[in-house]
Amino acid sequence: MAATTSTTPAVSFSLPSPPHRQGAPRRRAPFLLRAASTAAPPSPDLSIQLSPRASPPASTNGAATALGRPVAASFARDRAEDLQAEARAMARAAGATVYSPELLASRYGSRPFKVALRAAEVLSKLASFGVKVLLDERRGESSSERRRARAVELRSILTRLGPTFVKIGQGLSTRPDLCPVEYLEELAELQDSLPTFPDEDAFACIERELGFTLDSIYSAISPSPIAAASLGQVYKAKLKYSGKLVAVKVQRPGIEDAIGLDFYLLRGLGFLINKYVDIVTSDVVALMDEFARRVFQELNYVQEGQNARRFKKLYADKQDVLVPDIFWDYTSAKVLTMEWIEGVKLNQQAAIESQGLKVLDLVNIGIQCSLRQLLEYGYFHADPHPGNILATPEGKLAFLDFGMMSETPEDARVAIIGHVVHLVNRDYEAMARDYYALDFLEPDVDVSPIVPALKNFFDDALNATVSELNFKTIVDGLGAVLYQYPFNVPAYYALILRSLTVLEGLALYADPDFKVLAASYPYFAKRLLTDPNPYLRDALVELLFKDGRFRWNRLENLLVQGRQDREFAAKDALQPVLKLLLGPDGEELRVLVVKEAVRVTEAITIGTLIDSYNAAPAFLKPLISSGNPAGPFKFSEAEQEQMLELRDQVFRVWGLLRSSNNFDPSLLQPIVQVLQEPEARVLGSRVAGGVTQRLAARLLQQLLRIPSPGSS
């Protein structure tokens, strides 16, 4: 993307002081205002021609000293300088508004006329639209053109109602399972194509917040916004001191008052729902407060910059994820400056595929990254709608907006993974107990009545494998089944649902049959096989030793799925279970392992004999079988197939481990080390004794020609 730059020689400037130490910002020259007002609108692909900024006039009193340093110094900025710049940005944001129900009550409680007018405005517009849709259905007017017209009308209504309702529309725009395609396409415009506010107001805000003129900050800036979202609008600019391209987000004027009034109304509605709507068991007011608190945090752009820095530290080392840098010297409560990222919105399938990329591949990157956010680090992006995620030409996923972030408690992270295991096992009692760890239920709530409800729902839903379930089906089904019980949905969980349903909605654009759970399996498998957390270790044992019998097919599936995760290390697989097996609390597991070791040894030994007999020349077989046409083994055909299948499963699992790129034979080292310990010798002797007894019994059975139990 080409940018027009000023021909004025570059000037080296010193780092800025906090804005409150500066004089009043100088106003821009009139010709610059005219240039901005007459500029052409931005092109759809964001390829905007930047307008050069005139260099500030020379000053004899040092007034020309502005932001920036020589280009070479910009690459040498160390961590200490970055912290200093962040501290200056925090000082500029010291007066940022925070959410307080008490503050809203004091501000709007004494203004009943204004509150009543706003309530009437919202109700009249939404009710009028609802009546029109109902009349369309009654009259049979459901053509695509009619739906398109209604979708345009709804987008217009939400836009006029302001930022709070724009965010509601943004959520609907990613749910093709809730809205017709005409609504999806129109509501998608709410993500970054909202009406703009005057450039003059935006540029004045930048100068007021940073304490310097635009001329001293930028060598070029787009004459009009390249995107407008619910809380602000974005300009593309080139920093004067370094020549770096940046995105400059400027907050909408009067946004705090508009959002505050809406949340005051919604909070009042929440009180009414809590009091009179019995089917809603969650504390609606608490959920409203949590949502409002996070929206108000979005109004503090310094907080958003800190969120981006933390997010980058956790996830930007992943080769498929890109997080822009924050320029703290140009950031305040209402102005955010970050690295410019070239890319295409994730719901623009044609544009993405024209670059040789696949939407589903990118969505899968987003899902894997989100799973790490939700379940590994616990710090996650709670608003991943298409306007906030870009596909870069290199095939990376770039996260842009970090205003709405949340955290998953550590106990909840492992409980969610364990919950999936219990779902696979259809262990509904364990699923019900998981709700304690998830903070859905208080410890004194009896879960026994919940178990039949879970069983009835999932027995009907699990006609296929768990991976075939749609995420929304689970969410909606559980919501319908469990509303009668004293569940309280924690705020973090509501944001998790929002995050995953948005990603699933994006995937459904490209593939209506896409399943988030199926795409999540590699991550779940990797965590189960390698995570030493005691809860997950026990969940893995429960998954593999179902009903007292080792499930080799499940281990094989876990390894197949886990190998698809790029962070899977074969040398770490099953180490948690091995440590449990050899530890002081592993006696119950050791009993199962001894039993399974005997079965496996028998299957390998007898399977090898069966293969050898089948491979023998035809003239030798009568001699080996003593003339018995059924062969030398007194096993039923079904029993032979079971042993051969068990042997083949064991060999396939071993082959999966050995074929891993990072396989390390030291995987077995803990067993070798433990064999030197007294308890290990006992375990080894128990295995050897069991194998000897089993093979001796088989030999005696063959000699006496006694049919095996259950044989035909």
pLDDT reported for residue 672: 54
Same-domain status, 493 and 612 = no
In a domain, 5, yes or no: no
Q: Is the pLDDT higher at 348 or at 660? A: 348
Percent of the chain with pLDDT over 90: 19
Same-domain status, 356 and 453 = yes
Amino acid 83 reads L
pLDDT band at 295 (very low <50, low <70, confident <90, very high): confident
pLDDT reported for residue 371: 84
Give me the residue label for tokens 């006496």.
704
Beta strands in 421-476 (DSSP E): none
Which residue, 179, 44, 57, 67, is CA-closest to 501?
179
pLDDT reported for residue 306: 95
Q: What is the mean pLDDT of residues 337-344?
A: 94
Same-domain status, 494 and 583 = no
What span, in angstroms and rounded, lies between the C-alpha atoms of 515 and 468?
6
The overall average pLDDT reported for the chain is 77
In a domain, 15, yes or no: no
In a domain, 230, yes or no: no
pLDDT reported for residue 17: 36
Same-domain status, 453 and 540 = yes
Considering 521, 549, 568, which residue would you say is the last residue of a domain?
A: 568
**pLDDT at position 712 over 60:** no
Same-domain status, 380 and 417 = yes
Same-domain status, 601 and 471 = no
> Structurally, how many domains does the chain consist of?
3
Other CB atoms within 10 A of residue 198 CB: 11
pLDDT reported for residue 219: 93
Q: What is the mean pLDDT of residues 289-311?
A: 89
Same-domain status, 527 and 581 = no
What span, in angstroms and rounded, lies between the C-alpha atoms of 492 and 411?
13
Q: Is the pLDDT higher at 587 or at 24? A: 587
Same-domain status, 479 and 611 = no
Considering 531, 550, 568, which residue would you say is the last residue of a domain?
A: 568
pLDDT reported for residue 240: 92
Q: What is the mean pLDDT of residues 514-526?
A: 82
Q: What is the mean pLDDT of residues 226-249?
A: 91
**pLDDT at position 158 over 80:** yes
Same-domain status, 452 and 581 = no
Structural domain including 694 reads: 572-704
Q: What is the mean pLDDT of residues 671-689?
A: 58
What's the chain's Rg over C-alpha atoms? Answer: 32
pLDDT band at 55 (very low <50, low <70, confident <90, very high): very low
In a domain, 64, yes or no: no
Six-digit token pair at 698? 């088989």
Six-digit token pair at 11? 């000037």
Q: What is the mean pLDDT of residues 5-15?
A: 32
pLDDT band at 653 (very low <50, low <70, confident <90, very high): confident
**In the Cβ-directed half-sphere of 269, how many Cα atoms lie within 13 Å?**
12
In a domain, 58, yes or no: no
Same-domain status, 562 and 596 = no
Same-domain status, 122 and 154 = yes
What span, in angstroms and rounded, lies between the C-alpha atoms of 228 and 248?
11
In a domain, 580, yes or no: yes
Buried b (16+ CB within 10 A) or exposed e, 46-84: bebbbbbbebbeeeeeeeebbbbbeeeeeeeeeeeebee
Considering 511, 538, 568, which residue would you say is the last residue of a domain?
A: 568
Other CB atoms within 10 A of residue 195 CB: 9
Same-domain status, 577 and 564 = no
* Bridge partners (DSSP) listed for residue 549: 546
What span, in angstroms and rounded, lies between the C-alpha atoms of 47 and 597?
65
pLDDT band at 34 (very low <50, low <70, confident <90, very high): very low
* Catalytic-residue membership of 383: yes
**pLDDT at position 14 over 80:** no
In a domain, 536, yes or no: yes
Write down the catalytic residue from 383, 427, 434, 531.
383
Q: What is the mean pLDDT of residues 312-319?
A: 80
In a domain, 332, yes or no: no
Q: What is the model's pTM? A: 0.71
Beta strands in 242-351 (DSSP E): 245-251, 321-322, 335-339, 344-345
